[in-house]
Amino acid sequence: MDTKAVLSQDKTFVGSDTCKMCHLEHYDSWKMTQHSRMIQDASANRDVLVTAIDEKRIREDLAKLEKKLKVPSSEIYIPTEDEILYTIGSQWKQRFIVKKDDTLFISPIQYNVETDRWVNYHEADWNKRPWLLKCGGCHVTGTDLEKQTFTEPGVACESCHGKGSWHAALPKTAVFEKRQTIVNPAKLPSGVAQQICGSCHNRGKAKKMKGAGWPVGYEPGKALSAFYNQVSYAGGKKKYLYSNEFSKGHHQQHIDWAQSPHSKEGVTCTSCHYVHQIGIPQTRSQTQAAGSAQCAQCHEMVNRNGAHAIHSFANCVGCHLPRIAKSAEIGDIRSHTFIALLPQETIDDPTIPNSCTSCHKHKDADLEKLQAAYEKLTQRPRPQGEIINPVDYK
């Protein structure tokens, strides 16, 4: 097909199976990431359910929450395995998509993986919250709200690279044209590339569609702020942020990061995380190195003062990315401001957690003491003795 004919057609989504034909390595490694598994087709493969849908067991768990429920635990709608069309998530929690009146909805139950616990999810209004409108753009690829369709479940190639029909149709030999017809985040200004991740790892409201929680109309390479209003504590979203604007809710890494010293120096999500794992051993959360080694890639030297001087170990992540946000249960995911929170923060505002009590639990009751010990031990040594005359040093 000649280039002109290709470019005269509308640009559309073609799906990752098409990309696979020429980019097998990228496809294969993307398949190993959570992005590819976000939404899974349960009617095609029952194994995507991380646990059995056992109605009796689910109602028992819900009954423990009775006081908080807006619908009695015995009456909450529980889908049968056959009614579940897709699963949402698999790592921290799983939710289930069902169809009602030709529209996809999120059924009102949630399974928390680490604690093996069933909890309620919008039990009173679940059938008034269409899944595609509320969540679609962040969880599937090629969402079309007008037609009520999407092209592929999960966060696939074209979520980050944009519509690929022109690029895929051009002959392999048209290398330059091919490069120009697809978004390569590595070739965008880093702030613009960062917004691709920020289009989903974020919380807010669509500017161009009422009721949508994702940036309807945004495409990789565009300015996110034209499509999205991000939440903040100051703006009233106290459910999702602490009073110091650190995240309490999940999928808010971009909000945290934007306040971090890293954002000012252009250290972005992909400085630390891979999205297709080529030539890198697999790690938890797709970091390019595991644990502190991730930080040591750049922070070759760390000052032996302050908190660093009184700890014999160097688990950077434990203090600088404390688990203070919530996906399924409180404190199961991390802060991304990279700022260690001292006990003083909690003393000043008890609703703000700190980086220390995850280990210093026995001192929980007395944060003042921990703070005082910290201050005493971290005083910088003062010069000792008499003033020495440099002449004596000859």
Query: Site residues for ligand HEC, window 106-125 (CB under 6 A)?
Result: 106
Q: Does residue 161 interact with ligand HEC by CB under 6 A?
A: yes
88 Cα distance to chain centroid: 14
For ligand HEC, the binding residue among 6, 53, 84, 89 (CB under 6 A) is: 89
Nearest in space to 12 (alpha carbons), one of 157, 155, 142:
142
Q: How far apart are CA 128 and CA 97, in angstroms?
A: 13
The interface with ligand HEC within residues 36-55 (CB under 6 A) comprises 37-38
- 18 touches 24 (CB < 8 A): no
- Minimum CB distance to ligand HEC, residue 299 (Å): 4
- Minimum CB distance to ligand HEC, residue 335 (Å): 8
Q: Does residue 353 interact with ligand HEC by CB under 6 A?
A: no
- Minimum CB distance to ligand HEC, residue 54 (Å): 19
Q: Does residue 333 interact with ligand HEC by CB under 6 A?
A: yes
For ligand HEC, the binding residue among 297, 348, 349, 368 (CB under 6 A) is: 297
- Minimum CB distance to ligand HEC, residue 75 (Å): 21
Nearest CB to ligand HEC, comparing residues 382 and 394: 382
At 106, give phi and psi (nearest 5°).
-95, 120
Q: Does residue 374 interact with ligand HEC by CB under 6 A?
A: yes
Q: Applying CB under 6 A, which part among 65-73, 74-82, 144-152, 272-280 lies near ligand HEC?
A: 272-280
Q: Does residue 126 interact with ligand HEC by CB under 6 A?
A: no
- 199 touches 228 (CB < 8 A): yes
Nearest CB to ligand HEC, comparing residues 186 and 388: 186
Judged by CB under 6 A, the number of residues near ligand HEC is 114
236 backbone φψ class: left, alpha, beta (φ>0; ψ -120 to 50): left
Nearest CB to ligand HEC, comparing residues 3 and 270: 270
Shortest-Cβ-distance residue relative to ligand HEC: 306
The interface with ligand HEC within residues 66-85 (CB under 6 A) comprises none
Tell me which amino acid residue 253 is. Q
- Minimum CB distance to ligand HEC, residue 296 (Å): 6
Q: How far apart are CA 339 and CA 247, in angstroms?
A: 12
- 224 touches 218 (CB < 8 A): yes
- Minimum CB distance to ligand HEC, residue 11 (Å): 11
For ligand HEC, the binding residue among 48, 275, 347, 352 (CB under 6 A) is: 275
For ligand HEC, the binding residue among 12, 73, 244, 292 (CB under 6 A) is: 292
Nearest CB to ligand HEC, comparing residues 66 and 293: 293
Cα atoms in the 13 Å half-sphere on the side-chain side of 111? 20
The interface with ligand HEC within residues 196-255 (CB under 6 A) comprises 196-197, 199-203, 213-214, 250-251, 253-254
Q: Does residue 178 interact with ligand HEC by CB under 6 A?
A: yes
For ligand HEC, the binding residue among 78, 84, 132, 155 (CB under 6 A) is: 155
